[in-house]
Amino acid sequence: MTLLAADPRVPRRDALLRPETMAGVLSQRLHAGVPVEACERTYVKYRVGDSVRVVYRYRVGETTTFAAARSGRSDGIPAPEVDAALYPFPHDRKLEALPRLPGELIAWAAEQSATARLDGAYAKVQRGDGERHGLRALADQDAVRVPRILSDDDGVLTIEALPGRRLDTLAGADRAAALRAFGETLARLHTGGANIKRDSPSLSFSRLEPARLATAAEVIAAARPDAGDAARRLVERLGEPPATEPVTIHGDANLGNAVLLDDGRVALLDLEHLAIGPAAADVGQVVANALVSGTSARAFLDGYGPIDREALAWYTAASLLARVALPAVSRVREDLLPRLVRLL
């Protein structure tokens, strides 16, 4: 990983992130030397100066399975050649309910969450209760469509699978119409889509607070010294966010968390960050991602309607730093890392 500065605390980071290297490690440590094929990295969480967690999906013979690796640990299956421990699915250091997850595993964020596909539903296990709280908060309203909780038992949350297509898979005229509907959905959420306690500290939106932006800039500077000055200058230019009236927000608004239904409406997914905060935080995140992908956000903004332009500019820039540039480092986004300085 020549795009990231050397990290003395994680000396084997690049080997852990290299599928070719890990295919050999998984073969020797988990499968007695049986060759590993189609080894694909599906999840990364890199904490600069601390650790890296990575999940691989791979094939052995006719069987496709998953395994996680955690740097600097010894409580799993030792893999000293990469200074890590291995955790073959369904073993996880933090997800005690993972062995009880039914269905076909489709996503595993080691030590954080996992999702499996069932017939007409999804089953999830998570460290926190954010998804449960978000779905329950929106259960008794009809302004926005969200999945229903089907069961919640023994640490496994089962929710309905909404029939439709995720917005990040659409193109052309379908995409433009869906973006407009997405804007309309967020506007409805912001204008009273949920009856939740607005004075609850646990629901206060804090992901783009100035202190967190400053921390994000320092993390970026440590991992990519060439981008450090740009990140710090952006934080200085941003200063404090404009004062706005708090509303109910999704908290992680992006095209992957929205589904185009058959009736043309857009439903919202992954509600673990549902919060009370500025509407522009949701809208700015969508606009920031559009800027990075080189696509237009006009249809989305038209669907959303009027918004405070000063707040939108602030939260778009803050999202570029904390929701695009920082994850480029922490998730090792090789599509974004070469563009980091220019983005900032």
Over the stretch 90-144, which tens digit does the pLDDT of each residue have?
Answer: 999 999 999 999 999 999 999 999 999 999 999 999 999 999 999 999 998 889 9
pLDDT at residue 55 is higher than 70: yes
Strand, coil or helix: 317: helix
Domain boundary among the residues 127, 161, 195 is at 161
Number of domains in the chain: 3
Pair 52, 122 in one domain:
no
pLDDT bracket for residue 194 (50, 70, 90): low
Pair 118, 175 in one domain:
no
Pair 212, 242 in one domain:
yes
Pair 266, 310 in one domain:
yes
Pair 238, 303 in one domain:
yes
Task: Provide the β-strand partners of residue 104.
Answer: 117
CATH number at residue 127: 3.30.200
Pair 154, 259 in one domain:
no
Tally of CA atoms within 13 A in the half-sphere of 37 that contains its CB: 7
Pair 148, 269 in one domain:
no
Average pLDDT, the chain: 95
Domain boundary among the residues 72, 89, 106 is at 89
Pair 251, 155 in one domain:
no
Strand, coil or helix: 133: helix
pLDDT bracket for residue 202 (50, 70, 90): low
Q: 24 is in which domain, residue-wise?
A: 1-89
The Cα diameter of the chain in Å comes to 61
Q: Could you identify the residue written with the tokens 């030792």?
A: 78
Pair 183, 153 in one domain:
no
pLDDT bracket for residue 197 (50, 70, 90): low
Among the listed ranges 84-98, 192-206, 278-292, which one has the minimum average pLDDT value? 192-206
pLDDT bracket for residue 200 (50, 70, 90): low
Pair 46, 134 in one domain:
no
Query: In this structure, how many other beta carbons lie within 10 angstroms of the beta carbon of residue 20?
Result: 8
Tell me what pLDDT residue 203 has. Answer: 79
Tell me what pLDDT residue 64 has. Answer: 97
